[in-house]
Structure 1
Amino acid sequence: MSHRGVGVVGYGVYIPWERIETEKIVRERERKRGKELERVLEKVRHGLLLREKALAGHNEDTITMATEAAENAVRMAGIAPDEIGSVTAGSESKPYAVGTIARHVASFIGMGQNVFVADLEGACNSGMQGVGFIDSEIRSGRIKYGLAIGADVAQAERGDPLEYSCGAGAGAYVLGRTDLIATIEDIAPFSSLFMDFWRRDQAAVPSHFGRTTVEAYKSHVIGAIANLFRKHPDLSLSEFDAITFHQPSGYLPMKTCAALTEDKIPYVEDESIAERMKLTEQDIEKKVKPWLKVLDTGNTYAASTLISLASVFDNSKPGDQVLAVSYGSGAYSNATWFEVQDGIEEKRGLTPTVEDYIKRKTTIRIETYQDLIKARLSRIKQKLEIPRLVGDVEPVNGKAFTVSLCHGCERIYYPAREKCLDSECTGAMDVKRYPLIARLKSVSKLPLKRRFTSNFELLDQNKVLFVDAKIQDLKPGVKLEGVLRRLDYEGKDGLIMYGIAYRPVFQETLALIPKPKPLVIAPTQYA
């Protein structure tokens, strides 16, 4: 069954600003090993192929990351957000157990209300599974454009080897039928009940069977490729210009590639298919290794294949054949075949590339990392009492975000609302406007004695928050862009409140491209 005529119209990624070198974590967790420590470090560097990982900051989560990736994808697509008819979001780290990432993103980037929304399970496969679902909706004629997102703040127990790799990031793809940068030629699945990795309800971190994942990963990735080749008798791996896999580490993709160089490929009984699945060492060096972004980001779970695929597209030319094979524990795998189209040349430079995000970083100390992880794993979250940079800005143009402050319950609503969600709240609603692009007037670090000042109070005083920057980088007159951030949460069970913070403009040319505008006023809604 051909999928020709449907494909990628635009794509975008987001990788957090903060990073830590894997070696720092290993030295901290394994310091009791003494002389064995260097052997462990060598295994991590050259065995697991881990170097550095991205970390979501205190004011970031999968919703904020998914939103920026989606904005980038929509900007590249060159369409109005309200033309999108369906949104899927795959994630293992949903901020709400009930309450979707997909609907938040739809509202935050201005898709309106006439849109299908769903968050997807499927572990790390769920991002690419969304691509398959959106593809089907478009081919059915039900929607014109759809958006598939994968976003995660990966979790692991302190000291678990999984901690060395788990990172954070998001990828988003707008699919449609026109102005394509790549067509989806076909998708083939492979899944079985293989519980190598899981997380129970209310558990903060996942559990796993360690080396069992090697077998699960290899068998399902190879199985998905075999199923794709079974449908296309003339197709072979040697025909692909780029091949990328889900990347829990660098080790598993390379282990799978090694299996594909063997005389007898494991898990494939049909010799005619196995023969077409063979890779050479030259293929691995040229077609697989350049896309191992896990070295720079860590394992971004549901975003992993989407980010590595984006790095492929960042460097592709029309006519290239691309294979992306995702994997999720439990276990599920999709092999997706793309053909790059002429439209990719016209859309280069409209959004930051994967490499742009990788280079945009600050390296944090192990002590800062420990504090961040402690906050992430805490089961009872009260207020976001973290060091903050605050100040004043002035608009550069007339475009603005709107946020509501409820003076009855001190909730922050974005997009702005006319009424508080709490029907018994009688407080006044104050709608504030924040410029899309701004210039810095003043900045200061919130003093220790004011560390319990809520972000609601700061916004009510017409102050703004600054993120992804050090105070020495924030000089008066510097150009800033508004970005979505998590501003507060109400204990362990209440609402999470989102709003606008400012960072230095990522790329000067991109500041001139309008971001999708959120709904100015959301009507009263009841579940």
Structure 2
Amino acid sequence: MSHSKVGIVGYGVYIPRERIETAKIVREREKKRGKELEKVLEKVRHGLLLREKAVAGHTEDTMTIATEAAENAIRMAGISPGEIGGVTAGSESKPYAVGTIARHVASFVGIGENVFIADLEGACNSGMQGVAFMDAEIRSGRIKYGLSIGSDVAQAERGDPLEYSAGAGAGAFVLGKSDLIASIEDIAPYSSLFMDFWRREESAVPKHFGRTTVEAYKSHIIGAIANLFRKHQDLSLSDFDWITFHQPSGYLPMKTCNALTLEEIPYVGDSSIAERMRLTEQDIEKKIKPWLRVLDTGNTYAASTMISLASLLDKAKPGDQVLAVSYGSGAYSNATWFEVQDGIEEKRGRTPTVMDYVERKSEIRIDTYHDLIRERLSRIKRRLEIPRLVGEIEPVSGGYFSLSLCKGCNRIYYPERDTCLASDCPGPMEKKRFPRFAKLKNVSKLPFKKRWTSNFELLENNKALFVDADASDLKPGLRLEGVIRRLDYEGKDGLILYGIAYRPIFREALAVASKPKPIAIAPTQYA
């Protein structure tokens, strides 16, 4: 059904499988405190409201996690990726300083060349800012559908309190005017020059003023809501069934909620607006606390509001009024008002829910965490985590991935190319096809003496690479699904090479269990 308003046609998320309890990091970083350690742990658990966080694996980065979220959103939307006319990607952790996440994801999920592309700044607000930009493009009639992504592998300096919350995840929304899940009723911005948090050029991690962020966050969240209510004189917080704020921790949303229960609401000079912004303790418990996904994922930066909004939509029903208020340091905030539509009931079950990803987890040791963080911050050349799991597969119906291997420079190109990007490379190029769905024939750990075998060589010999699984999980006959992963760096300043790896089937298994009829999904190559 066509609508006069723009809204969400499909949404998707991705949360990495690897998790670590915040307490493990705190114990390691604060062990010199001795008897004071338990007080620090208590403050983190019950003050900052942090429990555990998602950590991107060696084969994951901002582009790969954005890709899976985008695939999920397109699948839920039930459209051809070629119908998408614009892609935005908000992130603080771009793999390339020059070179866009949005174009990589567009190519990986099968969106063609005739598309507007933009990576957005604006810190953690940038994902939802993309929603506002795509909303405007669709309203103008310039495009039919837009894809907005927020994706981050959050960075923090070792030992900085920010490290306790810095997580990883991605959210993606397909926007349009047909078969809506939720219509966008309005969007109200609020921003000011408030540099509470920043990252300079060539710095691997951000800096911040600590407690100054509390004032910046509260004033901009409240400012955006006030701006929305200024435009809608009969609107109040009591009209919303569900409310979610950006979640750098559990503490800041709750601190802002408490401010909205006060007799005199801060930062709002107009008493007629302030009166409509008041929350009750019951509102906080019922409408806001259920969507504190930061407890499960940590702060996913540009994906934070999108993931919490997706979690909310997983449970919402038609007619529900929803308020999502994003925030990014610097400082920027958008208050976005949605009304849930009938399309949500039909589209449920096409893709994993937020909680499906939350519950698909593997706890990692502190030394594994250190290894992952060291690799991120040093940007060293790294291949798949050793020992790598490799083996042979046989195809199952469901299409193919196509990539190219350049025999001249040993580069992996995904999607496939006819020629090497290096004009002086003699080649030749070999095209390879790998099944989207497969059945496991055999698997083994790459022996230590072969640890320097490149992923290029493994793919050249038709070997499959396995991720998101332990060797004990991989039994002959196991059904597998292909995923896009980072397979190699070319040092600190060369290309990042992406390609295909396999994991035990997850998304398709959930979709089949929920919906008897399979849903056509986008080919992951150029349209």
C-alpha separation in 1, matches of 2:384 and 2:317? 45
Secondary structure of 1:503 counterpart: strand
> How far off is 1:379 after superposition?
4.0
Counterpart for residue 515 of structure 1: 521
C-alpha separation in 1, matches of 2:501 and 2:169? 19
Q: Which amino acid aligns with 2:511?
A: L
> How far off is 1:381 after superposition?
2.9
> How far off is 1:448 after superposition?
1.1
**Deviation by residue 1:139-170 (Cα, 9 ceiling, x = unmatched):** 00000000000000000000000000000000
C-alpha separation in 1, matches of 2:25 and 2:481? 33
Tell me how many residue pairs correspond in the alignment: 519
Q: Which amino acid aligns with 1:270?
A: D
Q: Percent of aligned positions with the same letter in both sequences?
A: 78
Q: Which amino acid aligns with 1:26?
A: V
C-alpha separation in 2, matches of 1:4 and 1:211? 44
> How far off is 1:518 after superposition?
2.8
Q: Does 1:349 pair with 2:349?
A: yes
Q: Which amino acid aligns with 1:129?
A: Q
Does the CA-based 8 Å contact 2:8-2:180 persist in structure 1? yes
**Deviation by residue 1:324-347 (Cα, 9 ceiling, x = unmatched):** 000000000000000000110000
Counterpart for residue 187 of structure 1: 187
Secondary structure of 1:252 counterpart: helix
Counterpart for residue 204 of structure 1: 204
**Deviation by residue 1:97-121 (Cα, 9 ceiling, x = unmatched):** 0000000011011111000000000
Counterpart for residue 5 of structure 2: 5
Counterpart for residue 425 of structure 1: 425
C-alpha separation in 2, matches of 1:387 and 1:109? 29
Moved over 2 A (4+): 379-387, 509-515
**Deviation by residue 1:209-242 (Cα, 9 ceiling, x = unmatched):** 0000000000000000000000000000011000
Residue pairs, 1:268-417, within 5 angstroms: 268-381=268-381, 383=383, 386-397=386-397, 399-417=399-417
TM-score normalized by the length of structure 1? 0.97
More displaced 10-residue stretch of structure 1: 447-456 or 330-339: 447-456
Secondary structure of 1:57 counterpart: coil
Counterpart for residue 488 of structure 1: 488
Counterpart for residue 115 of structure 1: 115
> How far off is 1:516 after superposition?
1.0
Counterpart for residue 135 of structure 2: 135
Does the CA-based 8 Å contact 1:4-1:183 persist in structure 2? no
Change beyond 3 A, Cα 1:384–1:198: same
**Gap runs ≥5 in structure 1:** 523-527
**Deviation by residue 1:440-468 (Cα, 9 ceiling, x = unmatched):** 00101111111111100111111010000
C-alpha separation in 1, matches of 2:185 and 2:214? 29
Q: Which amino acid aligns with 1:82?
A: G
Secondary structure of 1:305 counterpart: helix
> How far off is 1:382 after superposition?
5.7
Does the CA-based 8 Å contact 1:184-1:339 persist in structure 2? yes
Counterpart for residue 91 of structure 1: 91
C-alpha separation in 1, matches of 2:398 and 2:351? 22
C-alpha separation in 2, matches of 1:519 and 1:458? 21
Secondary structure of 2:498 counterpart: strand
Counterpart for residue 250 of structure 2: 250
Q: Which amino acid aligns with 1:177?
A: K
C-alpha separation in 1, matches of 2:476 and 2:391? 10
TM-score normalized by the length of structure 2? 0.97
C-alpha separation in 1, matches of 2:293 and 2:160? 22
Secondary structure of 1:79 counterpart: coil
Residue pairs, 1:427-466, within 5 angstroms: 427-466=427-466
Does the CA-based 8 Å contact 2:381-2:488 persist in structure 1? no
Q: Does 1:81 pair with 2:87?
A: no
C-alpha separation in 2, matches of 1:288 and 1:500? 39
Counterpart for residue 166 of structure 2: 166
Does the CA-based 8 Å contact 1:200-1:206 persist in structure 2? yes
C-alpha separation in 2, matches of 1:140 and 1:258? 39
More displaced 10-residue stretch of structure 1: 253-262 or 451-460: 451-460
C-alpha separation in 2, matches of 1:287 and 1:26? 31
Secondary structure of 1:5 counterpart: strand
Does the CA-based 8 Å contact 1:90-1:302 persist in structure 2? yes
Q: CA RMSD in A?
A: 1.2
Counterpart for residue 220 of structure 2: 220
Change beyond 3 A, Cα 1:250–1:288: same
Does the CA-based 8 Å contact 1:326-1:335 persist in structure 2? yes
C-alpha separation in 2, matches of 1:309 and 1:46? 23
Does the CA-based 8 Å contact 1:92-1:121 persist in structure 2? yes
C-alpha separation in 2, matches of 1:492 and 1:179? 45
Secondary structure of 1:171 counterpart: strand
Does the CA-based 8 Å contact 2:78-2:519 persist in structure 1? no
**Deviation by residue 1:398-445 (Cα, 9 ceiling, x = unmatched):** 511011000000000000111101110111111111001000001011
Q: Which amino acid aligns with 1:68?
A: E
Q: Which amino acid aligns with 1:120?
A: L
Residue pairs, 1:15-94, within 5 angstroms: 15-94=15-94
Counterpart for residue 525 of structure 1: none
Change beyond 3 A, Cα 1:350–1:135: same
Change beyond 3 A, Cα 1:436–1:62: same
C-alpha separation in 1, matches of 2:457 and 2:338? 50
Counterpart for residue 154 of structure 1: 154
Q: Which amino acid aligns with 2:522?
A: P
Does the CA-based 8 Å contact 1:49-1:295 persist in structure 2? yes
Counterpart for residue 515 of structure 2: none
Does the CA-based 8 Å contact 2:85-2:145 persist in structure 1? yes
C-alpha separation in 1, matches of 2:494 and 2:55? 24
Does the CA-based 8 Å contact 1:4-1:185 persist in structure 2? no
C-alpha separation in 2, matches of 1:509 and 1:36? 45
**Gap runs ≥5 in structure 2:** 513-517
Q: Which amino acid aligns with 1:302?
A: A
> How far off is 1:383 after superposition?
4.9
C-alpha separation in 1, matches of 2:159 and 2:48? 16
C-alpha separation in 2, matches of 1:83 and 1:418? 25
C-alpha separation in 2, matches of 1:102 and 1:487? 19
Secondary structure of 1:65 counterpart: helix
Does the CA-based 8 Å contact 2:6-2:183 persist in structure 1? yes
